[in-house]
């Protein structure tokens, strides 16, 4: 579809409809590491520091007025004896089965059913896990840990996982003193064995995990924006046209500046939504909704109750 046929994006606005209860009152706000809906949409899982909470959806229809509520179904805490261990990420293997990564390199498998909740696991690495990614068939699990480790695991018929291998380092693309750091992993939607890995300085590569062969998708200068206090906006994202790998836009957060130089733009989650027209990017205490092609922030969702969300209509 060419630009003349592309529909004009309508005004978009997100509104808060429900506050999820935490497991118990706390004197501090726990750090939310990851949040994900189950494939069937009936459960929502969140990883907080040393706790994983799963909420279950209840739908109501009172006199023709549909509504929903979320109640805590599972609240799994790490053993108090493992004081250094924290949860870092999570992904749904399928509805009812949750995989949670930990700073110790363990992967916890949380199984939900009517009889109760069971927790098993295995040690996937000796490093702190940053990302977990399952392919579309739930047969391969990619684990990104430490700065640059990406390990592939295969599922067995019994539900256990066995290690295949670690992906090799990408070929030298920049100066040899550039740090090798994995910033994201995700399976290619059209292939069960193609893993997309983005690197801080080495571009975006598509790996065939069985052949351990990589193809370059984006060059380093098109996927990385270096920022430092007083030099660039603290939060910057570069979007590209996937067909020709040309740089499309850089999204700069107008709220970020030299006032908080200790906060970097790296490792902030985000994803494209609404057929790729918009991008949801997490910031510090907020979520920005961008129109990707126009470089317009459509809405800022402030997570503090003391500040209302701001909106720019597109």
pLDDT tens digit sequence for 7-34: 444 566 777 777 777 766 556 667 788 8
Write down the pLDDT at residue 191: 67
Comparison of pLDDT for 175 and 97, the residue scoring more: 97
Comparison of pLDDT for 161 and 277, the residue scoring more: 161
Q: What is the pTM of this model?
A: 0.72
The pLDDT of residue 208 is above 80 = yes
Express as a percent the part of the chain with pLDDT over 70.
Answer: 70
Task: Give the mean model confidence (pLDDT) for residues 74-101.
Answer: 88
The candidate with the shortest Cα–Cα distance to 282, out of 302, 296, 298, is: 302
Tokens of 29: 């706000």
Comparison of pLDDT for 45 and 235, the residue scoring more: 45
Write down the pLDDT at residue 15: 78
Continuous segment of H or E residues that includes residue 58: strand 51-62
Express as a percent the part of the chain with pLDDT over 90.
Answer: 20
Task: Kindly report the average pLDDT of the chain as a whole number.
Answer: 75
Residue 104 and residue 124: Cα distance in Å, rounded?
9
Write down the pLDDT at residue 165: 93
Residue 145 and residue 128: Cα distance in Å, rounded?
5
Q: Which residues contact 184 (CB under 8 A, 6 or more apart)?
A: 131, 196, 197, 198
């Amino acid at each position: 579809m060419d630009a003349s046929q592309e529909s004009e994006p309508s005004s978009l606005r997100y509104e808060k409809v429900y506050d999820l209860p935490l497991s118990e009152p706390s004197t501090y706000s726990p750090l939310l590491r990851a949040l994900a809906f189950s494939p069937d949409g009936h459960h929502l899982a969140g990883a907080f520091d040393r706790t994983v909470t799963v909420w279950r959806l209840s739908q109501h229809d009172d006199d023709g007025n549909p509504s929903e509520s979320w109640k805590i179904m599972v609240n799994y805490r790490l053993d108090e004896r493992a004081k250094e261990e924290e949860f870092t990420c999570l992904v749904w293997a399928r509805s009812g089965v949750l995989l949670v990564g930990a700073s110790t390199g363990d992967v916890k498998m949380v199984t939900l059913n009517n009889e109760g909740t069971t927790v098993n696991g295995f040690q996937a690495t000796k490093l702190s896990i940053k990302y977990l990614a399952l392919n579309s068939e739930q047969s391969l699990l990619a684990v990104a840990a430490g700065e640059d480790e990406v390990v592939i695991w295969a599922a067995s018929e019994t539900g256990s996982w066995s290690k295949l291998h670690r992906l090799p380092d990408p070929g030298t693309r920049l100066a040899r003193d550039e740090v090798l750091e994995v910033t994201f992993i995700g399976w290619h939607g059209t292939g069960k064995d193609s893993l997309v890995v983005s690197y801080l300085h080495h571009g975006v590569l598509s790996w065939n995990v069985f052949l351990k062969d990589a193809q370059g998708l984006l060059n380093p200068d098109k996927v990385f924006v270096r920022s430092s206090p007083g030099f660039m906006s603290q939060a910057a994202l570069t979007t590209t046209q996937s067909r020709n790998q040309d740089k499309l836009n850089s999204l700069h957060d107008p709220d970020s500046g030299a006032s908080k130089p200790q906060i970097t733009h790296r490792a902030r989650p985000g994803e494209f939504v609404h057929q790729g027209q918009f991008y949801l990017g997490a910031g510090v205490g907020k979520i920005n909704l961008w129109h990707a092609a126009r470089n317009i922030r459509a809405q800022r969702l402030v997570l503090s109750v003391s500040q209302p969300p701001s909106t720019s209509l597109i």
